[in-house]
Structure 1
Amino acid sequence: MIIDQLILGKKTPKSKFDTDKKSERPIRSIAKAVSWRVIGTLDTLLISYVLTGEVAIAASIASIDFVTKMFLYFFHERIWNKINWGK
């Protein structure tokens, strides 16, 4: 093992993410959560504005929606990442 590293230039894995390609780093889940929430929040903002006709109310609804659903999505992703079904 040490000889392989010296002769072949193999590096020891730094974390389980380097060897387990079925898993993803939490930072990736965060980036996915934020990007999805931007899309979802724009949708919520538009729908809220169409229904209420008030920009301030629509912005309030969209901002609350952005924060709560981002956290829900992040934990949803992390739980699903631990489930091996379908991988």
Structure 2
Amino acid sequence: METRQRSVVKALVWNLMGLAMMTVVGLVATGSAAVGGTLAVVNTAIGLTMYILYERIWAGIRWGRNV
């Protein structure tokens, strides 16, 4: 099982990559850096929260592990 700190670092790195991609997609889709950036920040905040919860839930499930 991994530590909470590792789960958080993984989530942060993943979401920083997602933030960059969503900023570009938002800019292309709306033509506005401000709107695209806002969409990216909201998406990243929701995604980060959900990813951390998802990882922590699975960390507590023993199914499929060779312990």
TM-score of the pair, normalised by structure 2: 0.89
> Which of the two has greater helix per residue?
2
Q: For 2:40, which of 48, 59, 62 is the aligned residue?
A: 62
Matched, 1:24 2:6: no
| Aligned match of 1:51 | 29
Paired with 2:42 and 2:23, the residues of 1 have a C-alpha distance of 11
Higher relative contact order structure (alpha carbons within 8 Å, sequence separation ≥ 6): 2
Structure 1 gap ranges (5+): 1-22
Q: For 2:50, which of 55, 72, 78 is the aligned residue?
A: 72
Instruction: Give 1 or 2 for the bigger CA radius of gyration.
Output: 1
The alignment's C-alpha RMSD in Å is 0.9
| Aligned match of 1:4 | none
| Equivalences, count | 65
Structure 2 gap ranges (5+): none
TM-score of the pair, normalised by structure 1: 0.70
> Deviation at 1:85?
2.4
